[in-house]
Structure 1
Amino acid sequence: MSDSDSARPGNFVDGYLLYLLARASCIASAGFHEELRGLGVPVPVWRVLASLKGTDGLTVGELARRCLANQPAMSKTVEKLVAQGLVARRADTQDRRRTWVRLTRAGETRVDELIARAEVHQAQLVSTLGKDGADALRTALTRVIASGKDDPC
């Protein structure tokens, strides 16, 4: 199959929502992920810091879900962030199997810097979609997420 065949209208993936979501996410994220790499910030670290912003802390399990990671990988990322002084951990007083993670002051400062950069990228996406389009997309994606029965992510 030639490249022109795959781009032909009527090609299955051209209208397949899951493909479109994945491709759009890849394209929309690429520039910001490249900027993060230039700053020496791995994407999983960004996701953890951004997920913790505005919370009193999250469990490692909740962080794994929000950051689209498995729990062992999340535990390793958290360990690195503790060593860097960006997050602090504490055991749950009711359930010793659960560990809570929160931003430190240094983590708050770092994530605020990164969020300012993320907002610039988001503004570029909003300008592409228009405010109404961006609001409609946010609403639609939120509905899809809310409909996840067992939420494997």
Structure 2
Amino acid sequence: MAALSATKTAKKPTPQPDGGRFPEDYLGYQLARASHLVTSSLHDQFAGYGVSVPTWRILTSALGKRRTITEIGQLVLMKQSALSRALDRLERDGLILRKRSETERRLVYIELTPKGRKQAEQLRATAALHEKRIRQSLSAADLKQLGLLLDRVILALAD
């Protein structure tokens, strides 16, 4: 019992001079925790497909719009080296093709194969259900406000 009590005591947040709790009230922590929880639960949803969240992001980024590798990298929040390895694997698995632009040789586009399109559509449907469950915890006004606030944070910090 003493060990449990000590553990609870150790987990108490450190009061801050402004009355806030650190890290619980730190915006970066709140954003990271929310992102972690959303991503972790989505990863659990994708386990049955044998794909990771980054794979889902790549496949669905290429669904419905022709995009360059650079565009996909920006959308999926991956470093170039990790993205290249993931694209190599997806190409090897027959889910994507890399197509060099006929007019601008430096541009390489990612296209889904029929197999890749089918998987991307399944993953998108799973993600839509996942997001619906999350959105149900907020009102329409809350969702709109949250979107606006997140856009402001992103705009303030984007390069």
What band does the TM-score fall into relative to the shorter chain? 0.7 to 0.9
5+ residue gaps, structure 2, are 1-8
On the 8 A contact 1:86/1:107 being kept in 2, the answer is: yes
Aligned counterparts of 2:105 and 2:42: Cα–Cα separation in 1: 37
Matched residue SS, 2:97: strand
- Report the equivalent of 1:101: 110
Shift of 1:7: 8.6
Residues 42-57 of structure 1 correspond to what in structure 2 (within 5 A)? 42-55=52-65, 57=66
Tell me which amino acid in the other structure corresponds to 1:13.
P
Aligned counterparts of 2:114 and 2:50: Cα–Cα separation in 1: 20
Matched residue SS, 2:102: coil
- Report the equivalent of 2:143: 134
On the 8 A contact 2:62/2:112 being kept in 1, the answer is: yes
Check if 1:20 corresponds to 2:30.
yes
Report the TM-score, using the length of structure 2 for normalisation: 0.81
- Report the equivalent of 2:40: 30
On the 8 A contact 1:7/1:14 being kept in 2, the answer is: no
Give percent identity, aligned residues only: 32
On the 8 A contact 1:50/1:115 being kept in 2, the answer is: yes
TM-aligned CA distance change 1:64 to 1:85, over 3 Å: same
Residue of structure 2 aligned with 1:2, choices 5, 10, 29: 10
Matched residue SS, 1:129: coil
Residues 116-127 of structure 1 correspond to what in structure 2 (within 5 A)? 116-127=125-136
Aligned counterparts of 1:94 and 1:79: Cα–Cα separation in 2: 24
Question: Which structure is larger by alpha-carbon Rg, 1 or 2?
Answer: 2
Q: Deviations over 1:104-130 (max 9, x none)?
A: 222221111111111111111111122
Report the TM-score, using the length of structure 1 for normalisation: 0.84
Cα RMSD (Å): 2.2
On the 8 A contact 1:88/1:104 being kept in 2, the answer is: yes
TM-aligned CA distance change 1:142 to 1:149, over 3 Å: closer
